[in-house]
Amino acid sequence: MEDTTLLSMADHLGPVAVALEWVVVLIELFAIAILLLGIVRFTGWFFSGEVMRRDAHERDHQLNRGRLALGRHILASLEVLIVADLIRTVLHLTLANIVLLGGLVLIRTFISFSLEYEMRALEKE
């Protein structure tokens, strides 16, 4: 696919574009921090269920609580990453970037719907 530039805001914004690129990096780091916090919370629920609880039902309950917490963090992180991708695409508006953004949004939307479906099932238990 040809990388035809439709409009490059980065060319017109100069130093502001560089600052916005750093903002995108910070947003992506924030998304990673959300994921890491989710892993920490899941680990806490997991060990709480496995180590502290002997009853199988209670272990499953704790694991489900951890899975719900992790799922919420993954969904939040995906939303934040979409924001970063949108900013990056606006800064470097090419047909290839638009197609890439569309693909990423579709994939993330599918993951979001799948996680939400699973989370609803876990909440009912």
1: confidence class by pLDDT, cuts 50, 70, 90: very low
pLDDT single digits (tens) 36-61: 999 999 998 888 877 776 677 777 77
- What are the C-alpha distances in Å from 99 to residues 1, 45, 93? 10, 39, 10
pLDDT single digits (tens) 79-109: 899 899 899 888 888 888 889 889 988 888 8
In this prediction, residue 6 carries a pLDDT of: 61
CB atoms within 10 A of CB 23: 14
Q: What is the mean pLDDT of residues 120-125?
A: 76
Rounded distance between C-alpha atoms, residue 80 and residue 111, angstroms = 14
69 and 36 in contact (C-beta within 8 Å)?
A: no
